[in-house]
Chains A and B, each alone.
Chain A
């Protein structure tokens, strides 16, 4: 669990002091992924960097797992926090295996264990270890480098992961793929993740909760569906966009709106699909009832327009 308590950073500049982050308080439960979202210069990256003390807070507290990070040596602290940055920052003088092994080596793991861990992580990220372990970063594509960046952050199995626009440098197609891979990994790893983004679609796709920043202040902190359904103010509403109802569809599963019985012929959906699929079928086929089927294609219930409308309206 990560708790930020009235966290504030004031930078001294040529024209007086400027508060980059002012009085941010929020709590991310263990195992959740929280996206810090906002336009550039809103203080989200500074907030992230105060958590691993790359930036020293002017005032306020950061607690990780109940421990006040003021009381820990910053260098020791950072070894227990995974860190991924947009520019990736793989060390070009080290091989992929050595890059992944940086933190394990700092923690004095033996060589065999470190290497085994690197192999394990590469396989987890769909990269063939035998092919990639001894390559240099210069010999990787952008997407591969980004995966290695994630593997490196996960190497010593830290409970907390900080990611600063981790998929920002990857082309849109690959970004989707890496996001999906990361979500799949996160499902089993259950890290506490703080993730900086300026992309509302990425945030809605990835986040368990979203923190929207403007000019160093936290404007709203809520799960994606709540944020989209009930923006706290004008700024949040305009930031999430006029199509916020459409965005909500992605994060609502068919299982939330399915009613038992009433199976008929016509288009079918699975319980694990999201409402984007349902809306598409409604529009394409001009119907207002769909059959929900299980893995074997056996009908298990129906999805109606009324049920969808009720779900979208209830918040």
Chain B
């Protein structure tokens, strides 16, 4: 089974962001020099308003997805679910294979146009990798640890909290990070089903061939993606216990 593992490679946590930052600085300079920057500034008010809308889309759908995805992943990994879990994960895998735009379109046919459909669409797109990684992470905790935990008198709840989740946390976080990248990357498309957000500037800018308007949507979207990845990267670094965190095993 494939696990999202893009961020599993040990790395010095801040270096990539420094590189990205310098590239961004060069681009800003290019924008200012070419005069596109002043075009973009015309959309200041739109940027502020739509960014707020965009953030609501991302944070509501993202936090719903993390909460429900982890819970569903835990539930599927319990021994009594063993008979159905693999089948359920196959469904999740098939769901992941559907292009996000297709998912949004399907949801729109059920829920109609608007922010609610957009949030549900983003939620489902984000949910699947989290379920999968939570399930796989928990199932790959060594049976030896389970045996030791059980033999020492841990109840199933204590075992989940103190042994299974901490040892699966790195893989779960990898799933959350991937899922949030999908979420932030998909959020602009929400505009197409009436969800608002920065996609409005991007798509309208493309349609009107207004380079400044398009960038006024695209640049904040890109910055948001970097910021969200940084945030979850830091959370993964600091929240996963040192003994089971490949990023911190020096």
Contacts and interface: CB of A to CB of B under 8 A. Distances in A.
B244 A92 contact: yes
* 5 nearest A-B pairs in the assembled complex, by CB-CB distance: A89-B148, A136-B243, A79-B153, A78-B153, A83-B151
Contacts of B147: 54, 85, 89
B152 A103 contact: yes
B163 A106 contact: no
A271 interface: no
A143 B169 CA distance: 28
Contacts of A106: 152-154, 158
B179 to A, nearest CB: 23
A89 B243 contact: no
A78 B150 contact: yes
Contacts of B144: 85, 87-89
A2 B8 CA distance: 48
A78 B154 CA distance: 8
A56 B155 CA distance: 16
A54 B145 contact: no
B241 interface: yes
B77 interface: no
A132 B95 CA distance: 48
A93 B151 contact: no
Band of interface residues on A:
20 to 34
Given A91-B145, A91-B163, A85 B151 contact: yes
A85 B146 CA distance: 12
Given A87-B144, A94-B166, 15 more contacts: A52-B151, A83-B148, A89-B147, A90-B148, A91-B163, A92-B167, A92-B243, A93-B163, A93-B243, A94-B241, A94-B243, A102-B152, A106-B153, A106-B158, A136-B242
Interface residues of B, number: 23
A56 to B, nearest CB: 13
A75 B241 contact: no
Nearest to B145: A89
Given A76-B153, A79-B153, A106-B154, A91 B242 contact: no
B249 interface: yes
A137 interface: yes
Nearest to A135: B243
Contacts of B167: 91-93
B228 interface: no
Contacts of B153: 75-80, 103, 106
B151 A91 contact: no
A6 to B, nearest CB: 24
Contacts of B152: 78-79, 83, 102-103, 106, 152
B118 to A, nearest CB: 38
A69 interface: no
A5 to B, nearest CB: 22
Contacts of B249: 138
Contacts of A138: 243, 249
Interface string B116-151: 000000000000000000000000001011011111
A87 to B, nearest CB: 4
Interface string A57-98: 000000000000000000111111001010111111111000
Contacts of A83: 148, 151-152
